[in-house]
Structure 1
Amino acid sequence: MNWNERIKRWLDFEGLDQETRMSLDLLMEDEKMAEDAFYQDLTFGTGGMRGEIGPGTNRMNIYTVRKASQGIADYIKANGEEAKNRGIVIAYDSRRMSPEFAEEAAKTFAANGIHTYLYSDTRTTPQLSFSVRYLHAFMGVVITASHNPPEYNGYKVYGEDGAQLNLEDADRVIEFVSRVEDELVISNDGYNPEMLVSIGETLDRAYIQNALTVCEQSAATPIQAVFTPLHGASGSTVKRLLEEAGYSDIVYVPEQMEPDGEFPTVASPNPEEAGAFELAMRYGKDSGADLLVAVDPDGDRVGIAVSNGDHYELLSGNQTGAILIEYLLSQKKSKGELPDKGRIFKTIVTSEFGRAVGEAYGVQTADVLTGFKFIGEKLRENDLTGEFEFLFGYEESYGYLIRDFARDKDAVQSVLLLVEAAAYYKTQGKNLRDVLIELYNRHGWYREALVSVTKKGADGAREISALLNSMRELPLQSIAGIRVSTIEDYETQNRIFTDLEKSEKIELPQANVLKYFLEDGSWVCLRPSGTEPKVKFYFSVKGSTEQESDEKLELIKDSFLDEVNKR
């Protein structure tokens, strides 16, 4: 069925709601946009689905949400009565249509005889993860598009362990969703209200009590800090947590504390970007704050800025991760609580900086594929084997997990530990930037960069695919005049040693990722985004000085991107 036939099917459907029909009529005025909205079904992948809100099979709307929910409901029913009785938990963030999509999903599950827990208001993604575990539910769903622009929303799926589905379970769910052929005819009108339970305060209290356990200090030390949830779901939870932990000098950015899916005071609600800190910096200067903290809309990623004289300097996810590792391990070592089997996890596109910090304390760091679900998978395996004691998990894209009562990155518990770390180092006359410089001087000057190129629509998807194919067919021999010593191709799961002319198997799951290691220890990685229409290029170098690393990073980055542009 081509895109014109899909549109006709929607136009001919008598049960189409009036708002969607009006939007569809407007869409028909732009053939290119109409094709993009209908040329495919919105991809339901290993983490769920994400897309622009609007009419169409390739958009987030009540019909595509019902389709995904019906497929998941069929999967739950296939797992028997116990799975149906344990049920599913649903949470949602502050985005456009999030409450409506959550309600549609909840009614669809309830209509299928599945016990359904629905949060009565916005909650964070990590709290959804925690709630699945706390309620011993069979699955979980959170309606969110993280830090995407306002026109996006998404649907993330969680397993019974509270982590995003592992690849095997995700494939089974995807199969069930793909069997649902017609999103328009799914009805949830006849659901049994008794199957749908509203949840809230009881789980809030339980989550806060667990989050307080990340503290390494027995009592809070005063610290001036500014916090903003960027109009997202974490504001009230973080405020409550910090107050219960004893931090009374926190300034909360008032213009951004209330959930608002239009994100009216920021160009992008992304804590990776300086613009997201604009208001926080203003309040920071007024209050003399040592630390600024910003959390993304669904509360799973956190960024910080630290005072550097007369301005605030944003730290990267790699830098913040290294600081948190240093603080955690140093505190545990001083108390004699550093476990023999302690383990840190990071993704393959995350800097080696954190590994170097961990090794100084005798703690091993293991790599996983990009995506926090792979850290969650390791935690699930460890529940059975007891092979290690989890100490920390993180990724360069500002996601951290300290205690695994949640099984996804958790900005809420991370905010508390960052505030505590800043307060602790302040008693030593240092801020977090000072700690970072000490770590660089101790372990080497690691520098990283990320370049994302947006490729929207069908044409963009084809361009990204063609680029990866070209890089495989004509592999690079050198970058910026530095020889490529190893190529890791996670699609073929081969590690190729170019200088030794041999290869070995990569013991990680298959993924469309290429990573180049250079003779000097630098590396470059490219991968399509799993959640956005982008191709991402990661760069990492290490030098003996800041200037050496900065110069090397720019040289390698420019050389590689020049090569990409020729493809």
Structure 2
Amino acid sequence: MTTIATAAADWIAHDPDPQTAAELAACSPEELDRRFSRPLTFGTAGLRGPLRGGPDAMNLAVVMRAAWALAQVLKDRCLGGSHVVVGRDARHRSDEFALAAAEVLAAEGFDVLLMLAAVPTPVIAYTVRHLPAAAGIQITASHNPPTDNGFKVFLDGGMQIVSPSDSEIEAAMARAPYADEIPRAAVEVGGLRQIHGYVERAARVRRSTGSVRVALTPLHGVGGEYALDALALAGFDDVHVVEDQFTPDPDFPTVSFPNPEEPGAVDALLSLAAAVDAEVAVALDPDADRCAVCVPSPDGWRMLSGDETGWLLGDYILSQLEPGPVSEAALVASTVVSSRMLAAIAAAHDAQHAETLTGFKWLARAQRPGNTLVYAYEEAIGYCVDPAAVRDKDGISAAILVCDLVAALRDQGRTLLDALDALARTHGVHVTGAVSRVVDDAETAMMRLRATPPRELAGFSVGVEDLLDRRGQQRTDALVFTGDEGGTSIRVVVRPSGTEPKLKSYTEVRCAPTDDLDTARAHAEKLSRELIDAATRW
């Protein structure tokens, strides 16, 4: 027998789930080769994959081996017997996987808190930070399709794992016992105090008073009841929900893809918002760690980009700080693929700004000597508005702060769009965009782009910075093209996707500050289209 055939036979013989064992036994040799040649690896904070048998997917055997591996890594760090938190969302098999992970950790001697109900991912990040716990696991696939699930890991005060923790867990998984030989011990469920603590803390991000009319959807995820409770505690009692998307449903029946950024995903929310004459509409993703904001405009309802919401929240948080030593000690952070405007906003408030690599595992760790992180965001509708409580993106606390800002602006006779106009007049119009292009091999495509980089984009002469030339945590596989002429600047960041054969490009055009915003935006949007068109040909 070949090595893979032997490995597959052993896996099937020791699979603790008869259903996936039977599924694997019926696979062709070619399919077994595909499933066993490339096991799941840690991507953004954890494992994520389709629900099916084999080491390249999410199933009971993989979850048990991952939990056992995490236990070994923690014990190697002299953290044996520590608290560990295990939670889950409402996806298919999440409850079964969470129980198995908790029982494996308990058998390894850890003091395990298994959440009594499905919870948003930020609840786990909060609980790990405030219990405190040595680690946390959330069984979730965030906004992936309904056929997927995942195993997300938090360490270090409730932050997503980074290297070398991910590779250490992977190495331990490779030497794990057969899944049916991994011990399990009974655990009791709990966590009500921690859930209440999270909801109460989320409500306290408010700065102003008064209610606003809100339209809300959790997109069939777990955030609905938690968001309603937090909004009520914060004083927002005029909340209208999309009824047929409110109850958690792992099949996400009313949307083709459970991601607020996907076309059509918030259509029902916008219809509700128009019907009830809402002042703001909010969509949470299925595990409620991301938040999309929609606003009424002269042309109807529209969704703000992740950058636009990021600017508004960053400016609002910094505006609440006492000028002088307090504001000067404040740090805000955004990623290398996000807009440059947050840096300008920070400078205007005498605060500091840090740029990190993509993902909240890096944003949560943003630091400068003598500064305290007060806010971080990424363009993919992720916001950390209370880092002292949740050191990760948190859609519920972000939604509270958005509603709070709407109330504060309304008291001034202004709207979120007015606030965006004010930022543009001060810091210049910024127009951002993004595009993904399918390629045969992303690594080869990046090599080709490095060998023959463009010298001109949208009529601008451009220079290039290769982020592989950086050292330490700023080093990554990305190219940054920049150009500047006549007060207008362009920027394009190109990187390979970490999960698909795609090149991802992020564009930004900035025009000099002006009171003629319509002309500046039209010019910037024209240049943005040209940049995106160029990126689709790389």
TM-score normalised by L of structure 1? 0.87
The residue that corresponds to 1:475 in the other structure is 453
The residue that corresponds to 2:382 in the other structure is 399
Distance 1:34 1:333 in 2: 61
Distance 1:201 1:479 in 2: 55
1:123 aligns with 2:119: yes
Q: CA deviation at 1:481?
A: 4.2
Distance 1:136 1:293 in 2: 31
The residue that corresponds to 1:523 in the other structure is 491
- Give per-residue Cα distances to partners, 1:58-96, cap 9 Å, x unaligned: 11111111221111111122223xx22223111111212
The residue that corresponds to 1:492 in the other structure is 469
- Give per-residue Cα distances to partners, 1:482-502, cap 9 Å, x unaligned: 32223132x332xxxxxxxxx
Q: CA deviation at 1:21?
A: 3.0
Tell whether the 8 Å contact from 1:3 to 1:40 is kept in structure 2 after alignment: no
> What is the identity percentage for the equivalent residue pairs of Structure 1 and Structure 2?
30
SS in 2 for 1:447: strand
Q: 2:184 aligns with which of 187, 191, 213?
A: 191
Q: 2:267 aligns with which of 270, 278, 284?
A: 278
1:293 aligns with 2:271: no
SS in 1 for 2:320: helix
Distance 1:68 1:361 in 2: 45
Tell whether the 8 Å contact from 1:136 to 1:160 is kept in structure 2 after alignment: no
Q: 1:353 aligns with which of 341, 345, 364?
A: 341
Q: CA deviation at 1:373?
A: 1.0
Tell whether the 8 Å contact from 1:45 to 1:174 is kept in structure 2 after alignment: no
The residue that corresponds to 1:54 in the other structure is 52
Q: CA deviation at 1:540?
A: 1.3
Residue identity opposite 2:80 in structure 1: K
SS in 2 for 1:292: strand
Distance 1:488 1:128 in 2: 36
Distance 1:16 1:91 in 2: 21
The residue that corresponds to 1:378 in the other structure is 366
Tell whether the 8 Å contact from 2:231 to 2:400 is kept in structure 1 after alignment: yes
Tell whether the 8 Å contact from 2:335 to 2:359 is kept in structure 1 after alignment: yes
Q: CA deviation at 1:415?
A: 0.6
1:109 aligns with 2:105: yes
The residue that corresponds to 1:209 in the other structure is 200
SS in 1 for 2:365: helix
Q: CA deviation at 1:430?
A: 2.3
Alpha-carbon distance change, 250 to 7 in structure 1, aligned in 2, over 3 angstroms: same
- Give per-residue Cα distances to partners, 1:352-377, cap 9 Å, x unaligned: 12222222222221101111111222
The residue that corresponds to 2:523 in the other structure is 548
1:92 aligns with 2:88: yes
SS in 2 for 1:85: coil
Tell whether the 8 Å contact from 2:258 to 2:286 is kept in structure 1 after alignment: yes
- Give per-residue Cα distances to partners, 1:197-229, cap 9 Å, x unaligned: 412321111112222331112x3x121110111
SS in 1 for 2:463: strand
Alpha-carbon distance change, 215 to 283 in structure 1, aligned in 2, over 3 angstroms: same
SS in 2 for 1:166: coil
> What are the within-5 Å matches in structure 2 for residues 314-325 of structure 1?
314-325=303-314
Q: 1:514 aligns with which of 479, 483, 487?
A: 479
Distance 1:179 1:171 in 2: 13
Q: CA deviation at 1:428?
A: 2.4
Any stretches of 5+ residues in structure 2 without a counterpart? 513-519
TM-score normalised by L of structure 2? 0.91
Q: CA deviation at 1:454?
A: 5.6
Tell whether the 8 Å contact from 2:120 to 2:223 is kept in structure 1 after alignment: yes
Distance 2:192 2:365 in 1: 29
The Cα RMSD (Å) is 2.4
Any stretches of 5+ residues in structure 1 without a counterpart? 494-505
Distance 1:17 1:213 in 2: 44
1:422 aligns with 2:406: yes
Q: CA deviation at 1:396?
A: 0.7
Q: CA deviation at 1:510?
A: 3.0
Alpha-carbon distance change, 305 to 473 in structure 1, aligned in 2, over 3 angstroms: same
Distance 1:267 1:339 in 2: 44
Distance 2:310 2:386 in 1: 14
The residue that corresponds to 1:503 in the other structure is none
- Give per-residue Cα distances to partners, 1:167-190, cap 9 Å, x unaligned: 24334333333433x6x44534x4
Alpha-carbon distance change, 555 to 142 in structure 1, aligned in 2, over 3 angstroms: same
Distance 1:167 1:139 in 2: 15
Distance 2:492 2:130 in 1: 40
Distance 2:330 2:179 in 1: 51
Tell whether the 8 Å contact from 2:437 to 2:536 is kept in structure 1 after alignment: no
1:366 aligns with 2:354: yes
Tell whether the 8 Å contact from 2:65 to 2:179 is kept in structure 1 after alignment: no
Tell whether the 8 Å contact from 2:136 to 2:153 is kept in structure 1 after alignment: yes
Distance 2:99 2:373 in 1: 36
1:151 aligns with 2:147: yes
SS in 1 for 2:166: helix
Q: CA deviation at 1:315?
A: 0.6
Q: CA deviation at 1:252?
A: 1.7
Tell whether the 8 Å contact from 1:3 to 1:35 is kept in structure 2 after alignment: yes
Distance 1:214 1:529 in 2: 34
The residue that corresponds to 1:224 in the other structure is 213
Q: 1:137 aligns with which of 126, 130, 133?
A: 133
Tell whether the 8 Å contact from 2:442 to 2:497 is kept in structure 1 after alignment: no
- Give per-residue Cα distances to partners, 1:520-553, cap 9 Å, x unaligned: 4312112233456654221111135011101111
State the number of aligned residues.
Answer: 526
Alpha-carbon distance change, 535 to 66 in structure 1, aligned in 2, over 3 angstroms: farther
- Give per-residue Cα distances to partners, 1:309-335, cap 9 Å, x unaligned: 35211111000011112222233359x
